Amino acid sequence: MQRAALFGSGRDAQMAAGDLGELLVPYMPTIRVPKSGDRVYKTECAFSYESPGSEGGLYVCMNTFLGFGREHVERHYRKTGQCVYMHLKRHVIEKVPGASGGALPKMRNAMQFLDLETNGDLNNDDFEYEDEAKLVIFPDHYEIPLPNIEELPALVTIACDAVLSSKSPYRKQDPDSWEEELQVSKHAKTLVQIDNGVRIPPSGWKCSKCDLRENLWLNLTDGSVLCGKWFFDGSGGNGHALEHYKEMGYPLAVKLGTITPDGADVYSFDEEEAVLDPHIAKHLAHFGIDMLQMHVTENGLRDNNIKPRVSEWEVIQESGVKLKPMYGPGYTGMKNLGNSCYLSAVLQTIFSIPEFQRAYVGNLPRIFDYSPLDPTQDFNTQMAKLGHGLLSGQYSKPPMKSELIEQVMKEEHKPQHNGISPLMFKAFVSKGHPEFSSNRQQDAQEFFLHLINLVERNRIGSENPSDVFRFLVEERTQCCQSRKVRYTERVDYLMQLPVAMEAATNKDELIAYELKRREAEAARRPPPELVRAKIPFSACLQAFSEPENVEDFWSSALQAKSAGVKTSRFASFPEYLVVQIKKFTFGLDWIPQKLDVSVDMPDLLDINHLRATGLQPGEEELPDIAPPIIIPDDPKDRMMNHFMEPPDIDESSVMQLAEMGFPLEACRKAVYYTGNMGAEVAFNWIIAHMEEPDFAEPLAIPGYGGVVSAGAAGLGAIGLDNQPPEEMVALITSMGFQRNVAIQALKATNNNLEHALDWIFSHPEPEEESESASDVMDVENNANANILAEAGSEGPRIKDGSGRYELFGFISHMGTSTMSGHYVSHLKKEGRWVIYNDLKVCASERPPRDLGYIYFYRRIPS
């Protein structure tokens, strides 16, 4: 059949319509109707950030329901043989004025099937969106416009309707993620606010009916500040806010302490639930609260003649300074998905490091070619996709010149696709994690370690870019009574510096400020100009190097508990040193709080004096004796001690960890040593112990005769030689894979057949390569091959060198705790500092180096 027959006009087109059913017959077995649980990716390409709004639109496979941009759909067709795709395209068109003052053009489709955000750069009064869908048959690119109900077979029509009406695969079902389930309050739009002159100070709040200073709510109608009840977030209170509603009928209240530029917690007493208030900024401004700048003035209005208080938010985001936007490769912003700024700040920093650029972007063709059938569930594919999105410049283009805008829009407007949305990436890397999978704000340091762990577990061949962060810490523990010592080593990825508050250089100013603050709080006046503690970096470094007491220390020299002290030194220096300032602590209510301090972080850092020295002459080592096991007094108990049953281990937690890719025995040890406290606690144990030599060895418990193995715990019997079941090996080899590859894949995935197949597709190296401890890599991808090969399987791979470093980036946090606030990153590129604030990427004028949270240093070549 000629393609022209399908796209003729008039009579020819009608004749072609009758042939559509016949045309689709060979492909009918490959066309599926999405079932419950199927994810339909119709908003974003699996390999890039192309979408229906992009120039080439998006192709959705009618079998796997994966989405592909024009550049990648051919790869999927060649790899899978799948021929039928739905092509989705969003057009931006100019409205045609009519007699009624703006008649709307006729839509090409009656159905709005794309759940995409509109382009904020367009004037909605002049432009609108028009969506288009059609089936495309590869390799000849036959196109069938949709809807085409009469001509298409019923199965195809049902499948198309199901794809078009499907919901986003990222719609949260987790009950903990209540943020995404909030509804707009029916009172938000019509809320009446009384003009009674009430102005709310930024701190010093107290319930107007009692003395409570916690769990306070601001009524958005009359400005009353009243205590809450446990009904909303579990906090205590006397319920005065609810009583006020019952008495006055004022429905909406906002929780004080939750107001940030990103939003606030709003509760509706009438609707009896947490709600969204789209007009929250306006409602707060009524009481003198500038939500966007976190700035409160005494009269509620900004007075240009009065110098505004400079807050942490303004300094770190460089507010009030005209910043020049940056465009091109390496200057791409990331959309905030709702408290996802911690992720953006870490990833922008990570992908400014050459080793990560080479590992993922440099290997992009290879990673994409060997990605599993579902690339949305492959870490390396998603890292390569994200790295390319940030570094290619494809999504960071300067705006069009003003004189060309009108002409271009009249022809066909092509929206600027600036910035990327890490929705698919976040969904994958946070899967199964109770915190990162939620919409709550998180600690950037914890996410950094989580990301490094994922990099470690998903190495590309023998290449591991996280090697640049890894270093060895030597811990020297000394018994204070016998003076004997023990030296041990552990692996770490960042240096945690304590804040030496006692070393503040402006103590007199701090005391005066605290007195003024208390006076203002008592008089319900705005607080005085903020005074931050100025902490010398040298004092923090000194606090890091000082000995610390070891709690519950058992001295093997004394065979008893004693006082002990521990000091830490660097047994090796990493290529890139990550320094965390430990600003976060816990209040009396166990709520995380932040120390608002200024630390004079140096541009050049020399820590060679912290190099470990090992056992020194004259030092005597503590005997290598384990603490005694307490044996029961009952002889029967002593007799049964050797033959007792294996310890109780929560197998569900074990399986949850094993599915993440950790060795089975390591998972069992993690669950056992954390007292069956759940997978999350066990996961933290794994992170802390994964570099230990016996990490994957079977669990051995003192007093229990033998090791505790999976055995008959429902995980499948494993022989003494750890050989996978022969039937599984035969099944994989029947698919055309070599026997040694099948065995290796099954061993690597704990005999999980599905995971083994994914493992094979994501590890295309020949067996002889993957078994070697020094896999051959492209020279350009591994300039440190000798260092890595020397490490082999002797221990953790490190890149030791000089301890002299230069600052190239830092991540800053604004807010009172890790549970709230906002993150931005500053990076030094091409000789100047650049600020990355979600989608905004600008040249930095005043980089706030003293207010950072996590600092990144690169080694200075010696």
Three state DSSP letters for 277-309:
CCCHHHHHHCCCEECCCCEECCCCCCCCCCCCC
Query: Is 822 a catalytic site residue?
Result: yes
The helix or strand, by DSSP H or E, that contains position 651, with its residue range, turns out to be helix 651-658
pLDDT at residue 349, as a whole number: 97
What would the pLDDT profile of 346-390 be if each residue is shown by its tens digit?
A: 999 999 999 999 999 998 888 888 888 889 999 999 999 999 999
**Helix/strand/coil for 2:** coil
Q: Is 535 among the domain residues?
A: no
Residue 49 near residue 420 (C-beta atoms within 8 A): yes
Residue 577: phi and psi, rounded to 5, are: -100, 125
Tally of structural domains, the chain: 4
In sequence order, what E strands does 211-287 have? Answer: 216-219, 225-227, 252-255, 266-268, 273-276
Q: Which residue has the tokens 């809320």?
A: 191
CA distance 434 to 176: 9
Tokens for 625, please give them.
Answer: 């004796």
Q: Is 337 among the domain residues?
A: yes
Q: Are 123 and 221 within one domain?
A: no
Q: Are 28 and 161 within one domain?
A: yes
Q: Is 762 among the domain residues?
A: no
CA distance 725 to 709: 17
- Considering only CA atoms, which of 500, 418, 447 is closest in space to residue 340? 447
Q: Is 798 among the domain residues?
A: no
Over the chain, what is the mean pLDDT?
78
In sequence order, what E strands does 37-126 have? Answer: 58-61, 67-69, 84-94
Burial of 345 (C-beta count, 10 Å sphere; 0-12/13-18/19+): buried
Amino acid at site 375:
P
Q: Is 227 annotated as a binding residue?
A: yes
Q: Are 119 and 144 within one domain?
A: yes
Query: Is 83 a catalytic site residue?
Result: no
Tokens for 376, please give them.
Answer: 């949305």
| Residue segments in the chain with a per-residue pLDDT below the cut of 50 | 1-17, 98-112, 120-121, 123, 172-180, 230-235, 294-309, 402-404, 406-416, 590, 631-632, 635-645, 702-721, 765-793
**CATH code of residue 672:** 1.10.8.10
Cis before 147? omega within 30: yes
Helices (H), 421-478: 423-429, 444-457
Q: Are 125 and 238 within one domain?
A: no
Domain enclosing residue 246, as ranges: 182-295
CA distance 320 to 301: 17
- Considering only CA atoms, which of 433, 456, 457 is closest in space to residue 446? 433
CA distance 91 to 105: 12
pLDDT at residue 313, as a whole number: 85
**Helix/strand/coil for 710:** coil
Q: Are 269 and 147 within one domain?
A: no
Q: Are 21 and 161 within one domain?
A: yes
Q: Is 207 annotated as a binding residue?
A: yes
Q: Which of 72, 822, 826, 842 is catalytic?
A: 822
Decide the pairing of beta strands 295-296 and 584-586.
unpaired
Q: Are 76 and 21 within one domain?
A: yes
Q: Are 387 and 284 within one domain?
A: no
Q: Which of 341, 479, 540, 667 is catalytic?
A: 341
What would the pLDDT profile of 436-449 be if each residue is shown by its tens digit?
A: 888 888 899 999 99
Q: Is 67 among the domain residues?
A: yes
**CATH code of residue 142:** 3.30.40.10
Interior angle at CA 820, CA 516 and CA 514, nearest 5: 10
Q: Are 234 and 332 within one domain?
A: no
Q: Are 291 and 418 within one domain?
A: no
**CATH code of residue 391:** 3.90.70.10
- Considering only CA atoms, which of 220, 255, 225, 223 is closest in space to residue 240? 225
Boundary of a domain, candidates 639, 663, 690 = 690
Decide the pairing of beta strands 604-606 and 804-814.
antiparallel
**Helix/strand/coil for 115:** coil
Q: Are 252 and 382 within one domain?
A: no
Q: Are 126 and 200 within one domain?
A: no
